[in-house]
Amino acid sequence: MTRVALVSGFVLAITFASAGADDKPLPAGSGRVAAKEYVEVDEKGVANARFRLRVREATPNILEIRGINGWVAFTSYDEGQKEYRGFFEWQQMGALGNPGGKWADLYQVRLVRQANGELLMTGKSKNNDFVIRAKEYGPTP
């Protein structure tokens, strides 16, 4: 199921998996994620430049990941699994609170750099799941 919300002038679409659905195995991570700007892509790899995220290295093993539309995640690197794990939450947006109300949950997240260089971040809270796919943002050669 896909939910859409208007957040500070941006439309946000996140696909939520149903609880108990047959989950496909998650791909293995292929190493560390570079600190740079990424653009979210759909399942077919089509980019939507309005949905960007920035990855910043807080320490050599901890990343801060921020969505342009108000969410933040902190993850730490697991060398054995070649992936990052951490937490995701929406920031408070003044009197507006968090988008969608129920997305105010704290999510446990997994972030992997796939073999093709794209990022895959999955998250799960008490009530919801999400998937964000992203590739490096910038001019195409």
pTM value > 0.75: no
Q: Print the domain residue range for 101.
A: 2-18+27-136
111: tokens are 């972030």
**114-133, pLDDT tens digit by residue?**
988 899 999 998 888 889 99
Task: Kindly report the length of the chain.
Answer: 141
Q: CA-to-CA distance for 120 and 64, rounded, in angstroms?
A: 15
Q: How far apart are the first and last CA of the chain?
A: 35
Q: Is residue 141 part of a domain?
A: no
How confident is the model over 79-100, as pLDDT tens digits?
999 999 999 887 655 555 555 5
CATH of residue 121's domain is: 2.40.128
What's the domain count of the chain? 1
Token pair in block for residue 18: 């149903």
What tokens were used for 127? Answer: 């009530």
